[in-house]
């Protein structure tokens, strides 16, 4: 043996590492099971570890019972309420003592006299810019309300008076349940449920306040404690909550958070996950399972609070699981200081229809949430219960009172007395909410009052938000396109208004100009977007976004009508050509429409923005003009004129063109008058041009006039004078008439000195010629012009000699006198 | 309406007692408490009213949140006249029974029609019921 044990026994492979092994006793007999190495040396002989262990376990068990209201793991899970109560009573007594021993000044201060910070102080800390971001901030974008939609509603001034007498509560409950219409939903009334849980123990439960007061020996009411994170529901839990109402005073009693941590941690170990496996499913039996929430929240709370390390008193710990429906059990409440009783209540039987969301999110960030679930409800209750009469919904009171009975037993001693008030508040709110949930059809007057109480659920801010969204959807760049009838209707109405105002007293006529304000467009009329360019950078940095994507290809659809004439090949080509002509005329119309649009847009825009539009308009019109005129290609114009649409197009374009352009066109028209008239036999299709042409002629100067006249004189193709042909056509005769009229006007308005002699003579020539033609052409074939001008007689008088006048006198009457209805 | 003439918005209907018809044919009566941009509705003190013939029955439902796309129409209830309808109110069970019977009858009718059409060699025309029917 010794050989083998010797350090460097080569036979056994001497090596350093193996020496330890070597040195270890090979045979078990040598191992001293209770030797110093194993169990530590220097142990007192008297020290009996088994004894110690037992004592320790006792302590632990008591602690467990005290804290968690039930025997620690290993012992039976007690569902019996009666025994539970006993336990509670015992442990409370113990706890009282414990509590007083806590020396931590922070905690003490909190319990005694901490002022309630008003409104949103802590909100800023929690949700302000310095607070942890992400979860909370998104609400800004989504919600109409200011910032915290997760916060609890503002604590309302009105609180329904607390009912201390449980007996009365029960009576109310009876009455209420009696009148309730709802059958299946509330299911068993509160009473029934209570009966089920606590047979005959109706009178035992006491309110938290009662109990506390008792214990304190009827001392004065404790100072109100700031409501803790009660009002701080877990993010993600209650998306529907309204912000303003949820502006909870997130008051955190200064010393709350940290001091509880050690307590929490201490308590955690004995518990472990064992006793309360998170139950996400159905809880204890009940018509509407309230149970699951508490335990499962409990567990969650317990588990997650410390790790999260949010310096809030989230460790309020799990809510008291016991709603009367629960196995009265887990008293894990001690953790959640101020939370105690309030926890109990909201986890009471939720109303039939509205099973609370908690179920859905077992895993949510635990710390704030036990309260969270109740918050919105509470919030609602608070918000709306201003005028609420207590008579209305009493079901809740019963339940609440009942559950309160449990809570105080545990909580009062555990939590500081200061909690009382906010707890009560909380309960009150919950009561309100629950009352609301358990509504039934009261007589009308009650309802009238209650309806008012619920009105205003939606704040004006929220309503505005919705309307804003709707308005955004109505923004449009082209109102004429999106809703033509509405647009014209509003414009008409505005015009009427303006007219009325004008009649009453033309005051601010300038302001109420008839323009359709298109704000969306005004914004968009910016310079073409130029992507940002960086100096000194290597390469071109991309700064594209959804709204300003980088331009890769310049794709622009050109709507210019191409005026290429197809090579005349065969008949089908003819067809194609005519079709193409039609297409081109269509394009011309499109251009006209664009011009029209621009004109409308121009009206709506401020001065500066109009300039580019003017440019566009001018360009478009020039294009159109060029297309129609097609210098050098008379036939094109003629072919256009042979189509009715084309004529219409010309008629519409003419007034829009610039003077010179228009006059050119008219000249072209006159040049081809003979041809056109020939084509127009019996159709009078040219009349559509009448008004536009007349307008042009009426504004032309003498030179132009002479040019026009010249056109009429010359006839390249026809034998007969163009004029002669013209006056046999309505359009033609109207034209001639207008020409003469214009001539007279010009003559009348210009002094002989200013008149250009050459032009004058040319004009005279024309008039003479015309007179001659008039003499020749038989009266029957003459056609009345559309407009007569008496001035023609004067003109003739001026320019012609008497003899000639006499000859054509009758015929002149055609031009000078209104057409007599035949 | 304050903001936009010529438009309709549910904002004016808030806190009014409305009758809402859903796509599945249900009729809800309740106080409109809240809306959103999708016309989702929050109805308070809702009752579901089932009509069969000249009779109707009410089922109190509590608070309803209705998804906007499921609403066919809604209208304000005339509070003065709502208490004297020409219809007769019956207890809920009865009306449910009646509704069931009505459904059965309709189905039978449909079946007969279908059969007779097939007999005549025609395709039984399937009416486009609402998807929820």
User: Residue A319 contacts by C-beta under 8 Å, 6 or more apart in sequence?
Assistant: A293, A294, A297, A298, A301, A333, A336, A339, A342, A343, A344, A346, A347, A370
* Chain A touched by B73 (CB under 8 Å): no
Residue B13 counted as domain residue: yes
Q: Is the pLDDT of residue B108 over 90?
A: yes
**B54-74 pLDDT, tens per residue?**
999 999 999 999 999 999 999
* Chain A touched by B61 (CB under 8 Å): yes
Cβ neighbours, 10 Å, residue A408 = 28
Label residue B41 exposed, middle or buried (CB < 10 Å: 0-12, 13-18, 19+): buried
Cβ neighbours, 10 Å, residue A670 = 26
The CATH number for B65's domain is 2.30.30.100
Please identify among residues 477-496 of chain A the ones whose CB lies closer than 8 Å to any CB of chain B: 486, 489-490
Q: Is the pLDDT of residue B17 over 90?
A: yes
Of B9, B11, B31, the CB nearest to A454: B31
Q: Is A561 helix (H, G, I), strand (E, B) or coil?
A: coil
pLDDT of residue A30: 58
Residue B78 counted as domain residue: yes
pLDDT of residue B24: 93
Residue B127 counted as domain residue: no
Of B9, B15, B33, the CB nearest to A470: B9
A420: enclosing H helix or E strand = helix A419-437
What's the pLDDT band for B42 if we cut at 50, 70, 90? very high
Residue B50 counted as domain residue: yes
Cβ–Cβ below 8 Å for A469 and B37: yes
Rounded Cα–Cα distance for residues A582 and A604 (Å): 33
* Chain A touched by B45 (CB under 8 Å): yes
Of B4, B31, B60, the CB nearest to A471: B4
- For B12, the domain range is 6-120
Q: Are A162 and A429 in contact (CB under 8 A)?
A: no
pLDDT of residue B21: 96
Task: Strand B17-22: give its sheet, edge to edge.
Answer: B71-76, B17-22, B27-35, B41-52, B55-66, B88-89
**A563-594 pLDDT, tens per residue?**
444 444 567 888 888 888 888 888 888 888 88
Q: Is A469 helix (H, G, I), strand (E, B) or coil?
A: helix
Q: Are A194 and A402 in contact (CB under 8 A)?
A: yes
* Chain B touched by A187 (CB under 8 Å): no
Find, in chain B, the residue whose alpha carbon is nearest to that of A469: B37
pLDDT of residue A276: 46
Find, in chain A, the residue whose alpha carbon is nearest to that of B41: A458
DSSP conformation letters of B41-73: EEEEEEEEEEEETTEEEEEEEEEEEE-GGGEEE
Q: Is B19 helix (H, G, I), strand (E, B) or coil?
A: strand
Of the two residues B120 and A730, the one the predictor is more confident about is B120
Cβ neighbours, 10 Å, residue A379 = 28
List of chain A residues whose C-beta atoms are within 8 Å of the C-beta of residue B60:
181-182, 185, 440-441
* Chain B touched by A393 (CB under 8 Å): no
**Cα Rg of chain A (Å, integer):** 50
Complex ipTM value: 0.83
Of B31, B62, B92, the CB nearest to A451: B31
Cβ–Cβ below 8 Å for A474 and B11: no
- For chain B, how many structural domains are there in total? 1
Rounded Cα–Cα distance for residues A565 and A577 (Å): 7
- Torsion sign across C-alpha atoms A524, A527, A531, A537: negative
Q: Is B75 helix (H, G, I), strand (E, B) or coil?
A: strand
Task: With CA atoms as reference, report the closest residue to A210 among A430, A427, A65.
Answer: A427
Q: Are A341 and A427 in contact (CB under 8 A)?
A: yes
pLDDT of residue B75: 94
Rounded Cα–Cα distance for residues A149 and A143 (Å): 8
pLDDT of residue B34: 93
Select the residue from A464, A470, A471, A474 to test the B interface by mutation, using most B Cβ atoms within 10 A.
A470
Q: Are A730 and A784 in contact (CB under 8 A)?
A: yes
CA separation, residue A812 to residues A694, A761, A784 (Å): 19, 22, 10
pLDDT of residue A244: 43
pLDDT of residue A631: 65
User: Residue A582 contacts by C-beta under 8 Å, 6 or more apart in sequence?
Assistant: A643, A645
**Minimal CA separation from B123 to chain A, in Å:** 42
List of chain B residues whose C-beta atoms are within 8 Å of the C-beta of residue A456:
15
User: Residue A737 contacts by C-beta under 8 Å, 6 or more apart in sequence?
Assistant: A785, A787, A788, A789, A792, A815
* Chain B touched by A474 (CB under 8 Å): yes
Residue B113 counted as domain residue: yes
Residue B28 counted as domain residue: yes
* Chain B touched by A529 (CB under 8 Å): no
Cβ–Cβ below 8 Å for A454 and B3: no
Cβ–Cβ below 8 Å for B11 and A466: yes
Q: What is the 3-state secondary structure (H, E, C) of A665-701?
A: HHHHHHHCHHHHHHHCCCCCHHHHHHHHHHHHHHCCC
**Minimal CA separation from A163 to chain B, in Å:** 26
Please identify among residues 640-659 of chain A the ones whose CB lies closer than 8 Å to any CB of chain B: none
Cβ–Cβ below 8 Å for A353 and B15: no
The token duo for A731 is: 């359009």
Give Cα A145 distance to the centre of its chain.
12
Residue B74 counted as domain residue: yes
List of chain B residues whose C-beta atoms are within 8 Å of the C-beta of residue A240:
65
Q: Are A512 and A501 in contact (CB under 8 A)?
A: yes
Give Cα A624 distance to the centre of its chain.
45
Residue B126 counted as domain residue: no
Cβ–Cβ below 8 Å for B62 and A185: yes
Which segments in chain A show pLDDT lower than 50? 1-2, 6-8, 12-15, 18, 71-79, 81, 98-101, 108-109, 111-112, 114-121, 123-124, 126-128, 130-141, 155-163, 179-187, 201-202, 221-442, 520, 563-568, 716-717, 822
List of chain A residues whose C-beta atoms are within 8 Å of the C-beta of residue B42:
457
* Chain A touched by B60 (CB under 8 Å): yes
List of chain B residues whose C-beta atoms are within 8 Å of the C-beta of residue A441:
60
Cβ–Cβ below 8 Å for B35 and A451: no
């Amino acid at each position: 043996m010794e050989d083998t044990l010797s350090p460097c026994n080569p036979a056994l492979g001497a090596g350093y590492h193996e020496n330890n092994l070597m040195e270890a006793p090979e045979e078990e007999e040598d191992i001293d099971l209770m030797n110093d190495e194993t169990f530590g040396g220097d142990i007192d002989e008297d020290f009996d570890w088994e004894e110690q262990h037992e004592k320790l376990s006792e302590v632990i068990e008591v602690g467990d019972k005290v804290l968690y209201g039930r025997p620690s793991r290993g012992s039976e899970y007690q569902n019996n309420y009666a025994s539970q109560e006993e336990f509670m009573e015992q442990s409370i007594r113990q706890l009282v003592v414990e509590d007083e021993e806590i020396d931590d000044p922070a905690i003490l201060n909190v319990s005694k006299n901490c002022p309630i910070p008003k409104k949103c102080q802590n909100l800023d800390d929690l949700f302000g810019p310095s607070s942890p971001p992400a979860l909370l901030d998104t609400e800004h974008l989504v919600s109409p309300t200011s910032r915290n939609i997760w916060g609890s509603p503002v604590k309302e001034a009105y609180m329904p008076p607390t009912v201390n007498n449980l007996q009365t509560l029960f009576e109310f409950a009876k009455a209420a349940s009696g009148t309730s219409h709802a059958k299946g939903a509330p299911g068993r009334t509160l009473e029934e449920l209570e009966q089920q849980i606590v047979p005959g123990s109706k009178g035992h439960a006491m309110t938290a306040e009662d109990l506390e007061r008792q214990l304190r020996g009827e001392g004065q009411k404790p100072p109100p404690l700031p409501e803790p994170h009660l009002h701080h529901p877990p993010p993600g839990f209650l998306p529907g909550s309204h912000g303003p109402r949820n502006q909870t005073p997130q008051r955190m009693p200064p010393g709350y958070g940290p001091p509880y941590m050690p307590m929490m941690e201490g308590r955690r170990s004995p518990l472990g996950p064992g006793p309360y496996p998170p139950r996400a499913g159905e809880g204890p039996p009940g018509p509407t399972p309230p149970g699951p929430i508490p335990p499962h929240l409990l567990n969650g709370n317990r588990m997650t609070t410390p790790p999260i390390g949010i310096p809030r008193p989230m460790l309020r710990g799990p809510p008291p699981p016991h709603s009367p429906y629960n196995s009265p059990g887990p008293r894990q409440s001690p953790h959640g200081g101020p939370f105690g009783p309030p926890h109990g209540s909201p986890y009471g039987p939720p109303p039939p229809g509205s099973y609370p969301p908690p179920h859905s999110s077992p895993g949510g960030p635990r710390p704030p949430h036990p309260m969270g679930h109740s918050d919105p409800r509470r919030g609602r209750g608070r918000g709306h219960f201003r005028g609420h009469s207590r008579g209305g919904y009493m079901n809740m009171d019963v339940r609440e009172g009942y559950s309160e009975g449990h809570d105080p037993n545990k909580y009062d001693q555990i939590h500081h007395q200061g909690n009382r008030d906010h707890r009560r508040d909380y309960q009150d709110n919950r009561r309100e909410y629950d009352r609301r949930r358990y509504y039934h059809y009261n007589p009308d007057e009650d309802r009238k009052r209650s309806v008012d109480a619920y009105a205003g659920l939606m704040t004006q801010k929220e309503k505005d938000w919705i309307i804003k969204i709707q308005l955004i959807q109505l923004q449009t760049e082209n109102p004429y396109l999106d809703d033509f009838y509405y647009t014209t209707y509003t414009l008409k109405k505005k015009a009427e208004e303006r007219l009325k105002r004008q009649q009453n007293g033309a005051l601010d006529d300038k302001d109420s100009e008839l323009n359709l304000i298109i704000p969306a467009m005004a914004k968009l009329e910016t310079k073409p977007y130029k992507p940002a360019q960086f100096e000194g950078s290597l390469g071109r940095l991309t700064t594209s976004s959804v709204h300003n994507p980088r331009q890769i290809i310049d794709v622009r659809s050109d709507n210019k009508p191409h005026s290429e004439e197809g090579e005349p090949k065969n008949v089908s080509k003819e067809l194609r050509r005519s079709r193409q002509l039609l297409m081109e005329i269509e394009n011309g119309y499109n251009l006209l429409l664009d011009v029209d649009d621009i004109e409308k847009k121009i009206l709506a825009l401020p001065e500066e923005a109009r300039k580019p539009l003017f440019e566009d308009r001018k360009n478009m019109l020039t294009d159109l003009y060029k297309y129609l005129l097609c210098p050098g290609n008379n036939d094109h114009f003629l072919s256009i004129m042979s189509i009715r649409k084309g004529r219409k197009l010309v008629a519409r374009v003419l007034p829009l063109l610039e003077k010179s352009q228009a006059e050119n066109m008219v000249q072209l028209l006159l040049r081809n008058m003979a041809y056109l008239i020939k084509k127009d036999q019996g159709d009078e299709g040219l009349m559509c041009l009448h008004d536009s042409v007349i307008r042009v002629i009426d504004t032309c100067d003498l030179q132009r006039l002479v040019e026009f006249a010249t056109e009429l004189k010359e006839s390249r193709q026809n034998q007969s004078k163009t004029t002669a042909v013209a006056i046999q056509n309505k359009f033609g005769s109207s034209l001639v008439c207008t020409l003469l009229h214009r001539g007279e006007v010009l003559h009348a308005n210009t002094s002989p000195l200013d008149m250009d002699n050459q032009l004058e003579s040319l004009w005279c020539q024309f008039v003479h010629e015309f007179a001659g033609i008039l003499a020749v052409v038989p009266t029957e074939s003459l056609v009345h012009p559309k407009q007569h001008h008496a001035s023609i007689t004067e003109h003739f008088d001026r320019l012609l000699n008497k003899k000639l006048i006499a000859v054509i006198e009758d015929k002149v009457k055609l031009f000078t006198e209104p057409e007599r209805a035949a | 309406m304050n903001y936009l003439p010529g438009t309709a918005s549910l904002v004016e209907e808030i806190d009014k007692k409305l009758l809402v018809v859903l796509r599945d044919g249900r009729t809800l009566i309740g106080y409109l408490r809240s809306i959103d941009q999708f016309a989702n509705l929050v109805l308070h003190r809702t009752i579901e009213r089932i009509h069969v013939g000249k009779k109707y029955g009410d089922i109190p439902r509590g608070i309803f949140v209705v998804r906007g796309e499921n609403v066919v129409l809604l209208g304000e209830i005339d509070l003065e006249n709502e208490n004297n309808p020409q219809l007769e109110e019956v207890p809920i069970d009865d009306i449910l029974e009646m509704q069931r019977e009505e459904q059965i009858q309709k189905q039978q009718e449909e079946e007969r029609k279908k059969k007779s059409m097939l007999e005549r060699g025609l395709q039984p025309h399937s009416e486009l019921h609402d998807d929820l029917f």
